Amino acid sequence: MRQRPRVTDFKSGAKAAGKSLWHGWKDGITGLVTQPRTGYQRHGVLGGAAGALSATVNVGMKPTVGMLSSVTWLSRGTYASMKKAALTFQLDETHSSHMTLGFASSSSSSPTSDYEEQEDESEI
């Protein structure tokens, strides 16, 4: 079993996608040798035959699964980067909306006072 990668941005998503693709191909190719050998060691000739049959199916399936999961990891990385960028942009907007040419705006209302006024109106 391999550990799941932690995806926090596009770079880590691309790295996880590359590893997923690599492991899919590697496991598919090496399975041609390891699965029949393991089957033979556990169950004899019939186990070896079953391992060979399983390996021929997996040689096509594992690379396909690796390619599909690499798309998933890359998408997760893209989503994480977009989410970070949107959050950063949102924080920049809230800080810059109260500033005018580097000076604090002269309006007396702040986001908390607006909320308190709305709360008082709802009690009526």
Boundaries of every domain in the chain: 10-99
| pLDDT for the residue 114 | 45
| pLDDT for the residue 60 | 95
| pLDDT for the residue 84 | 92
| pLDDT for the residue 101 | 53
More confident residue, 121 or 24: 24
Confidence of residue 117 (pLDDT cuts 50, 70, 90): very low
| pLDDT for the residue 21 | 96
| pLDDT for the residue 103 | 52
Burial class (CB within 10 angstroms; exposed 0-12, middle 13-18, buried 19+) of 79: middle
Render 28-88 in DSSP notation, one character per residue: HHHHHHHHHHHHHHHHHHHHHHHHHHHHHHHHHHHHHHHHHHHHHHHHHHHHHHHHHHHHH
CB 45 within 8 A of CB 116: no
pLDDT digits (tens, 9 = 90+) for 43-96: 999 999 999 999 999 999 999 999 999 999 999 999 999 999 998 888 877 766
Q: Is the pLDDT of residue 118 over 50?
A: no
| Three-point CA angle 6, 74, 15, nearest 5° | 55
Average of per-residue pLDDT across 103-114: 49
pLDDT digits (tens, 9 = 90+) for 3-39: 999 999 999 999 999 999 999 999 999 999 999 999 9
